[in-house]
Amino acid sequence: MDWLGPAEWEAVRLSLRVAAVAVAASLPPGIFVAYALARWRFPGHGLLNGLVHLPLILPPVVTGYLLLLGFGPQGPVGGVLEAVGLPVAFRWTGAALAAAIMAFPLMVRAIRLSIEAVDPGLERAAATLGASRVWVFLTVTLPLTLPGIIAGAILAFAKAMGEFGATITFVSNIPGETRTVPSAIYAFLQVPGGEDAAVRLVLVSVGVAMAALVLSEWLARAVARRVGSA
Amino acid sequence: MDWLGPAEWEAVRLSLRVAAVAVAASLPPGIFVAYALARWRFPGHGLLNGLVHLPLILPPVVTGYLLLLGFGPQGPVGGVLEAVGLPVAFRWTGAALAAAIMAFPLMVRAIRLSIEAVDPGLERAAATLGASRVWVFLTVTLPLTLPGIIAGAILAFAKAMGEFGATITFVSNIPGETRTVPSAIYAFLQVPGGEDAAVRLVLVSVGVAMAALVLSEWLARAVARRVGSA
Amino acid sequence: EDVTVFAAASMTEALGEIAARFTDETGTGVVLSFAGSSALARQIAQGAPADVFISANADWMDVLQADGRIVEGSRFDLTLNRIVLIAHDAAMAEVDITPSLDLGAMLEGGRLAMALTEAVPAGIYGRAALDHLGLWDAVAGQVAEADNVRAALMLVATGAAPLGIVYYSDAVSTPDVRMLGVFPEDSHPPITYPAARIVGSGDAAQSFLDYLQRSPAVDIIAEHGFWAPGG
Amino acid sequence: MPLFDRAAGVNLPVHHRRLGYVFQDARLFPHLTVRQNLTFGRWFAPERAPQAEIDRVVEMLGIGHLLSRRPGALSGGEKSRVALGRALLSSPRLILADEPLAALDEARKAEIIPYFERLRDEARVPILYVSHSPAEVARLATTVVALDAGRVVAQGPAAEVLGDPEVMPLGPRGAGAVIGARVAAHHEDGLSELQAGGVPLFLPRVAATVGTTVRLRIAAQDVLLSRTRPEGLSALNIVPGRIDSIRRGAGPGAMVALDTPAGRVLARVTQRSVGALGLSEGAECFAIVKTVSIAPDDVSG
Amino acid sequence: MPLFDRAAGVNLPVHHRRLGYVFQDARLFPHLTVRQNLTFGRWFAPERAPQAEIDRVVEMLGIGHLLSRRPGALSGGEKSRVALGRALLSSPRLILADEPLAALDEARKAEIIPYFERLRDEARVPILYVSHSPAEVARLATTVVALDAGRVVAQGPAAEVLGDPEVMPLGPRGAGAVIGARVAAHHEDGLSELQAGGVPLFLPRVAATVGTTVRLRIAAQDVLLSRTRPEGLSALNIVPGRIDSIRRGAGPGAMVALDTPAGRVLARVTQRSVGALGLSEGAECFAIVKTVSIAPDDVSG
Ligand SMILES: Nc1ncnc2c1ncn2[C@@H]1O[C@H](COP(=O)(O)OP(=O)(O)OP(=O)(O)O)[C@@H](O)[C@H]1O
Ligand SMILES: Nc1ncnc2c1ncn2[C@@H]1O[C@H](COP(=O)(O)OP(=O)(O)OP(=O)(O)O)[C@@H](O)[C@H]1O
Ligand code: MOO
Ligand SMILES: [Mg+2]
Ligand SMILES: [Mg+2]
């Protein structure tokens, strides 16, 4: 693949890392929120659902701006993160944060649906066998929702690979640090004659995304087969 | 609501119209594609699934640029549409097209999942009663998937309300024609002191989106109750 | 009929005022569409129904001209701009922008906010100026590139970055940043805002272009921090 | 008209076959009311069933009070009846009922069977009814095809197949003969008197008017044999006959087929009794059937 | 230890109650193998069941060959057995079985019941077994609590409650007494001879060794009565007794309770027969039970 220059390769590698970290870090809270939305009734249920979906609906630049206000060097959370040695401003970690937040609704939706498909009778059966709530979740609900979780994670990964607006607004475009594939594509589209390079990177994104989607369908089916019908 | 100026009102009205038309026009193909993905096995199944998801994954600017190449006045499809009296380039119809394409994956996913939840046994029963494939779909599958269709349509509506990158790239930012709420937010952020107006419009977007999400959950539950368990 | 003007986003406010005056005086409506110059140029290349294009840099106008999209002889430089160094800290002292400026020290480990230095005009000019002054290598690793010049301005305004390089017109638009100094005029290519009529536009487009070069319009542009050509 | 013939390349689409299918699970459309479920097939039928036909089916199945409900609010038995009505009203040329009662409990089954009987007697549609239950088959079938391990082991009129001691696809505990009898009288003590070939039979009240003919299934294991006419027994039904055949099974039992004036009767006794009583082909003996052994389930109106 | 007491504000979480629950649907975990299903509860039990205990349960339920399969590949009966083993191995203080066999067909039920019997006899856990089936109750229960419309109508030892003609929560067709009998001999003709209070009873081969005691359910409707000892009948079991009570029902039937040396026997006859035979309380008579009427289902090993 020597048709990609070193800077482009760097962007691809960085995007892969950012997307992977975004998905890995958002999976636990994603599963928790999906579980809460699927199984609990509480005041603010609708509000939580709305909040989770917000990044899907807000213009990404607005999301990025809000992230900047909250997680930037001057932001309330950003200061704390900096103090504990996990700075996100203008770092690839920030790009991962932006990607995670933008991909969160897709992940939560997929996981929520698969949790709703798990027979609560199985969870009650596990409780009668002595498993506490947490154990029921870990030994029954979680393994049974694996197809949905995998599908959600891969979809989120693809989305994270493509995130642009919130990322560039929040962490800018720093080669090697926050210059992901979409930022590079945007930059190429800004200059006359940059289309060719942009097309190459679009092809890479599309390839990765397509592979992720096909893999996700396949994995979900394979897991569903393995888990089988009781 | 006199805290919104006339230009802002115009953007809100336009966005509502664009989103409504986008959802209405993409619902039939959305249902068809969801049905095909849920129930048919054919070569290119994975490819179709990938294509449907592309707008979720590509940077919106790229999607907008591709739309411009295909549906612009010089584009192959754009020329045909222009000839049959349905020009989309730099028209609100084009904004609706961009919004529809960006929201399509969300809609299809929701509908597909609810189609997969319909018992194929009911469809076979309808066939033994003399209903052809099309009738089975119209009288059994479609009504039973109504909750998912509603949820998908409303989610797509919210997404369409918030679409920016593809819209401004494809149909520009023409007041009264293609200047939707997100474009207006962008424009306000370009002028000194425009933040207040931008914040007002963000609040409107968030309000509409939240209302849509809560309504979607509520409707889906109500319909599910009505349809009941057989 | 109305005149449709595609203009660089940085002209939003000035052109808004001029268009209102123009409509008052002539009765001809003006439809303004603002976006990044590159997006607008691509749209015009694809047949967008624009009558007038005002670009924030000459390159994109050159592309359209080579493409035969603009009316021969209608192109002129509407205004000029300058790039400036701005700071978030209102107490910071003004500086002379010379090769001896120690930008690295001024940043104190923070970021220098600019527009994309390879793609967006404001970033390209800033990079050229820093190169010319021999300052680029010292700060290259600390530059945060935003997708447009307004986003760079915002990074400084919110304090995410202590310093930034933006247009003079941007710096005067907000009280949240302090202008530390203007880059020497010879440190970068001239920053021109070419305007032109698009092929197929009517007489109204020409009268709007003419109007832009006359008294109230010129003053309004200057009020918003742009520099008059040759001024 | 062939529905499927691979050699001839015929495969009529399901919706053109006009086979009314009654599924084991009712498969009612949950989003439609009972009325809409019933009339569903009507829209696609070549000649649309008239309203009178609908009324007749609704009345026959006793579902008039359910018409505006949704399936979710029906009991299992009600669902089955609606499913049956729905199949009927699609103007089928044949009804296929594949173990339609298997998913119901005994009380529910007892509730549905009479409707199948009425259907058999009143509707002009042949029914192919698949079942594992001897009681169901005995009550409903006019012609029986017995399958064992996928092969046809017997076919013919119900009385013949069910009365054949060689044919026990349901095992010896499921065997039993079917006889026809005319209702002679309803007595005040709650018993009905029937005449079967001149033999009087007493049963708990039968839901058929005097003079009509009903079919009774007499389970082989409910029949006792005696060489002499027994006296002083609580059993009221004693049928004289001649042994046609004795079939010894692998276990301790034997199936004795008796020709009686009432028709073929099967009795399941031990081989030890066969020896003790000296039963042999051609011997005369008496079949004793308890009055209460013939359950309402086993009488077909 | 109270599990739930609203007044005292006690509501022990389900996972601390240590009640092994056997559901109507097996509810096996589809993602775990049979072995993992069986040992699921073990991880949470206060003292973990030793491997020997697992082996014993696996052996008792005959599921050794299934251990590495997943539930999807099990038959309905196998699923039930695994579910039972799973509940057992969670070291419960009590097993709750709520109609555990209701979803199975007859053949499957017959397959499972012996395992419940072994469980009752071998495991040291009390079982609360809920059922609508007289055969199941008669075979399994030591103590019966009969509920009708939500109220307790009788409770006590199984033989007493099931032999009480006043208690028929399952209707007269479900009534039947339970008697205990010792296996005396297995004969070559496939019959087993049992002794019940000095009365010999012949049954198709019983799966119990000579000398052990089994329980038999004799359904009331399978019993004939005679004032004199009948001769020349194919029925091998004739039990002399004295009429304790006669209960006339609303229909044509009557329930006669007989005290015999073998224990309480119930007979369901017509009121006409009661009159014809002159049956009355205190009268001596003979109960006739066909050998083959006592199904293997009705004998508890
Ligand atoms: N014509 C056929 N060709 C190949 N396989 C068949 C055919 N008919 C039935 N089978 C297979 O035989 C098995 C049993 O079939 P089916 O369920 O129709 O039997 P059944 O007699 O209806 O059983 P049940 O009484 O349990 O309903 C199924 O696994 C089915 O796939
Ligand atoms: N303690 C209770 N308080 C209020 N309602 C109850 C209570 N117990 C049972 N019910 C209601 O009574 C109905 C029947 O209860 P349940 O299904 O437990 O009965 P059951 O005896 O187990 O019936 P089945 O034999 O069909 O299993 C249910 O609708 C249930 O909601
Ligand atoms: O006004 Mo621009 O085109 O964002 O530099
Ligand atoms: Mg079958
Ligand atoms: Mg119950």
Q: Which has the higher per-residue pLDDT, B109 or D106?
A: B109
Nearest C-alpha of chain C: how many angstroms from B133?
44
Q: What does the pLDDT look like over B179-196, one tens digit per residue?
A: 888 888 888 877 767 778
Pairwise CA distance, residues B230 & B119, whole Å: 10
- Counting ligand 3 atoms within 8 A of each CB, the residue from C32, C37, C83 with the most, and so the one to mutate, is C37
- Do the chains contact at B210 and A113, CB–CB below 8 Å? no
Using pLDDT thresholds of 50, 70 and 90, give the confidence band for residue D159. confident
Mean local confidence (pLDDT), B133-157: 89
Nearest C-alpha of chain D: how many angstroms from E8?
38
pLDDT at res. D32: 92
Indicate the domain borders of chain E.
4-130, 151-300
Contacts of C122 in chain B (CB under 8 A): none
Ligand 3, residue C150: give the atom nearest the CA: 4
Show the tokens assigned to E37. Answer: 């299903």
pLDDT at res. B89: 82
Ligand with the closest atom to the CA of D148: 1
pLDDT at res. C166: 94
Q: What does the pLDDT look like over E18-30, one tens digit per residue?
A: 899 998 888 999 9
Is the pLDDT confidence value at D82 over 80? Answer: yes
Is the pLDDT confidence value at D63 over 80? Answer: yes
Mean local confidence (pLDDT), D39-44: 87
Output the CATH code of domain D151-300. Answer: 2.40.50.100
Domain A6-229 is found in CATH 1.10.3720.10: yes
ipTM field: 0.76
Strand partners, C35: C8
Average pLDDT value over all residues in chain C: 91
Q: What does the pLDDT look like over C133-162, one tens digit per residue?
A: 999 999 998 999 988 888 899 899 888 899
Is the pLDDT confidence value at B1 over 60? Answer: no
Using pLDDT thresholds of 50, 70 and 90, give the confidence band for residue C231. very low
The sign of the torsion formed by the CA atoms of E266, E267, E272, E274 equals negative
With beta carbons less than 8 A apart as the criterion, state whether C53 and C41 touch. yes
Is the pLDDT confidence value at B229 over 90? Answer: no
Average pLDDT value over all residues in chain E: 84
pLDDT at res. B188: 80
Q: What does the pLDDT look like over A35-85, one tens digit per residue?
A: 999 988 888 888 898 889 888 878 888 888 889 889 988 888 888 888 888
Which one is the CATH code of E4-130: 3.30.413.10, 3.20.20.70, 3.40.50.300, 3.40.1260.10?
3.40.50.300
DSSP E strands in chain D: the ranges are: 4-5, 10-11, 19-22, 94-98, 127-130, 143-148, 151-157, 176-186, 191-196, 199-204, 213-219, 223-226, 237-248, 253-260, 263-270, 284-289, 299-300
pLDDT at res. A54: 86
Is the pLDDT confidence value at E149 over 80? Answer: no
Q: Which has the higher per-residue pLDDT, C51 or A230?
A: C51
- The tally of CA atoms less than 13 A away on the side-chain side of residue C210 is 6
- Determine the straight-line distance between the first and last CA of chain E, rounded to whole angstroms: 34
Is the pLDDT confidence value at E141 over 50? Answer: yes
Mean local confidence (pLDDT), C73-77: 93
Mean local confidence (pLDDT), C113-129: 92
Residues 278..297 of D with a Cβ closer than 8 Å to B: which? none
Mean local confidence (pLDDT), A147-171: 88
Nearest C-alpha of chain C: how many angstroms from B165?
11
Indicate the domain borders of chain A.
6-229
Share of chain E above pLDDT 90, in %: 15
Beta carbons within 10 angstroms of residue E148's beta carbon: 12
pLDDT at res. A194: 82
Mean local confidence (pLDDT), B165-177: 87
Query: Does residue A174 sit at the C interface (CB-CB below 8 Å)?
Result: yes
- Give, using CA atoms, the residue closest to atom 4 of ligand 3: C36
Mean local confidence (pLDDT), C199-224: 92
Residue among B183, B191, B195, B196 with most chain C CBs within 10 A, to mutate: B191
Taking each helix axis as running N to C, give the angle between helix A60-71 and helix A45-57, from 0 to 180 degrees, rounded to the nearest 10: 110
Nearest CA in chain C to A88: C160
Pairwise CA distance, residues B58 & B122, whole Å: 39
Q: What does the pLDDT look like over D103-147, one tens digit per residue?
A: 676 667 777 788 888 888 877 889 999 988 777 888 888 898 988
Query: Does residue A134 sit at the E interface (CB-CB below 8 Å)?
Result: no
Least confident of A13-17, A124-128, E1-5, E60-64: E1-5
Q: Which has the higher per-residue pLDDT, A139 or D44?
A: A139
Least confident of A157-166, C94-103, D168-177: D168-177
With beta carbons less than 8 A apart as the criterion, state whether C71 and C197 touch. yes
Pocket lined around ligand 3, Cβ cut-off 6 Å? C 8-10, 36-37, 56, 120-122, 148-149
How is residue B140 annotated by DSSP? I
Query: Does residue D108 sit at the B interface (CB-CB below 8 Å)?
Result: no
Query: Helix/strand/coil (H, E, C) string of D64-84?
Result: HHHCCCCHHHCCHHHHHHHHH
pLDDT at res. A9: 86
Least confident of D171-180, D208-217, E2-11: D171-180
Pairwise CA distance, residues B57 & A180, whole Å: 13
Pairwise CA distance, residues A147 & B144, whole Å: 24
Nearest CA in chain E to A132: E15
Average pLDDT value over all residues in chain D: 84
With beta carbons less than 8 A apart as the criterion, state whether D251 and E190 touch. yes
Is the pLDDT confidence value at C218 over 50? Answer: yes
Mean local confidence (pLDDT), D224-244: 86
Least confident of A169-173, A198-202, D165-169, D220-224: D165-169
pLDDT at res. E297: 58
- Cα of D12 vs centre of ligand 4, distance in Å, is 22
Ligand 3, residue C9: give the atom nearest the CA: 1
Nearest C-alpha of chain E: how many angstroms from A101?
31
Least confident of B221-230, E7-16, E259-268: B221-230
Is the pLDDT confidence value at E237 over 90? Answer: no
Q: What is the pTM of this model?
A: 0.79
Is the pLDDT confidence value at C100 over 70? Answer: yes
**Long-range contact list for A223-229, CB < 8 A, 24+ apart?**
A223/A146, A223/A147, A223/A150, A224/A147, A226/E31, A227/A143, A227/A144, A227/A146, A227/A147, A227/E30, A227/E31, A228/E30, A228/E31, A228/E70, A228/E71, A228/E72, A228/E73, A229/E30, A229/E72
